[in-house]
Structure 1
Amino acid sequence: MTQIAIVLYPRFTALDFVGPYEVLRMLPDADVRFVAHEPGPVVADSGVLVVGATHSFDETPSPDLILIPGGPGCFGAAKDEKLREWLRTVGPAAQWTTSVCTGSVVLAAAGLLDGLRATTHWSSLTALSLYGVTAVSDERVVRAGPDERIVTAAGVSAGIDLALWLADQIAGTKKAEAIQLAIEYDPQPHLDSGHRSKASVATITASTVMLSRDLDKPEVLKLSTRLLWDRALATVRARR
């Protein structure tokens, strides 16, 4: 039995975990649970989608695989001491500790990415680097840590790539390929602006404005500003 703990917190981005969930649930003997402070509804960043947490952190003391999604709520999650303590406790013992998008900011806040390479959404690379992480912008999935058991994925859709790689590692290539075909994952978009290096200045600007609509909300802005300030202050003090 492979116990897979997908962490939920308010204002997560749905595709960050739904894509990986569809892959990971097909693994042999997969025990997937959605984990939060307590079982119950958790609202996504849209304010419309609601997902039910099935287990609490206390009920999940030894997962084999941890996955942290991203989203505007990641800054609040990064300040959540109970979540950080749970990650510090279960992370080192887990076979895989993973994140999608800005979920890596939460891992960094828990101290699990200290001195390591990691990736995140392109708009949050600077925030990630404030934790002493080597922020990687040109790799979709980054493996790091002892035996490369800490794995971070770039923004949103990269979670599917991460999950298929994990499926390959856990169940073998044949099973991973069967899962890939089962979900018919063969992306061939007619557009080619899925990475910042390929996008025009106008597209980057429009995308930044689109993303800022979530971050401009007062509670998110307050948390993100406080989080970045705390990290900057810690960096300055560490140099003395």
Structure 2
Amino acid sequence: MEEVRQPRNVAILIFDNVEVLDFTGPFEVFITGSNRGKDFKVYTVAEHDRPIIALGNLSINPTYTIYNCPTPDILIIPGGWGSRKEMQNEVITKWIREVSNDVELLLSVCTGALILAKANLLDGLQLTTNRLAIDELNEAAPETAEIIENARYIDNGKIILSAGVSAGIDMSLYVVSKLFGEERAKHTAKLMEYDWKV
């Protein structure tokens, strides 16, 4: 008899001044691609138990804090203007570093790459970020890393990084295809009415 696998926990970090589509795009992909909740349990996580004010003054209540969230199988670090503050937040970078030891996949969208750089997780990897933040990533990234400017997303195995904003949707669809096959990802994109280029 086939073993029933628990849904993978997909944790999406949110913080003040996070770019809205950086986290809602992947959220939508993993919810839509979850096979009605059987394959992914998606939730937001923040440092504090209070509303997060995203760009544009969108207020979001995080589902969990970093202190009480279920153990993530997939952790997504979005970007936005707030990433410049969070990359200096040692509580957050330490938490990401610790959680990264046990996750199956660690994903970043846009300038979430800056936070991963400050968490010391990008040695020897190929990196990308929002085209407008390439210089910032050059400053933050280790010398052993290689920055690829024109990639939509880059798969380093456990760590996958995407370019800015809507590129997080493409990366997330790619991850769905990596875990469950291209047909699942194409079906997810179709349900979202999203023009995904495989």
**Fold match, TM over 0.5?**
yes
Amino acid aligned to 1:10 = D
Structure 1 contact 119–154 (Cα < 8 Å) conserved: yes
Does the Cα contact within 8 Å between 1:12 and 1:74 map onto a contact in 2? yes
Q: Distance in 1 between matches of 2:91 and 2:70?
A: 13
Structure 1: state its 5+ residue gaps: 189-240
Q: 1:2 aligns with which of 5, 8, 27?
A: 8
- Structure (1 or 2) with the greater helix fraction: 1
State the Cα distance separating 1:38 from its structure 2 match: 2.6
| Seq. identity, % | 33
Aligned equivalent of 2:195: 186
Q: How many residues align?
A: 184
Give unpaired runs (5+ residues) of structure 2.
1-6
1:114 aligns with 2:123: yes
Cα contact 1:61–1:90 (8 A) shared by 2: no
Q: How does 1:142-153 map to 2 (within 5 A)?
A: 142-144=154-156, 148-153=157-162
Q: Which residue of 2 aligns with 1:67?
A: 76
1:25 pairs with 21, 27, 31, which one? 31
Residue 81 of structure 2 aligns with an amino acid whose one-letter code is P
SS at match of 2:51: strand
RMSD: 1.5
For residues 70 and 173 of structure 2, the distance between their equivalents in structure 1, rounded to whole angstroms, comes to 25
Instruction: For 2:123 and 2:69, locate their aligned partners in 1 and report how far apart those are by CA, in whole Å.
Output: 24
Partner of 1:210: none
Alignment of 1:8-19 (within 5 A): 8-19=14-25
Q: What is the TM-score of this pair, normalised by structure 1? A: 0.73
Shift of 1:61: 6.0
Of structures 1 and 2, the larger Rg is shown by 1
* Offset of residue 54 of structure 1: 0.7
Name the CA distance, whole Å, in 1 between partners of 2:26 and 2:196: 15
Aligned to 2:61: 52
1:41-97 deviation line (CA, Å, top 9, x unaligned): 100122x21111110111136210011111011111101111111111011211110
**Higher mean displacement: 161-170 or 19-28:** 19-28
SS at match of 2:18: coil
SS class of match (1:53) = coil
Instruction: Give the Cα–Cα distance (whole angstroms) in 2 for the partners of residues 149 and 113 of structure 1.
Output: 11
Inter-partner Cα distance in structure 2 for 1:105 and 1:51 = 23
**TM-score under structure 2 normalisation?**
0.88
Amino acid at match of 1:45: L
Name the residue aligned to 1:202.
Answer: none
Aligned to 1:38: 48
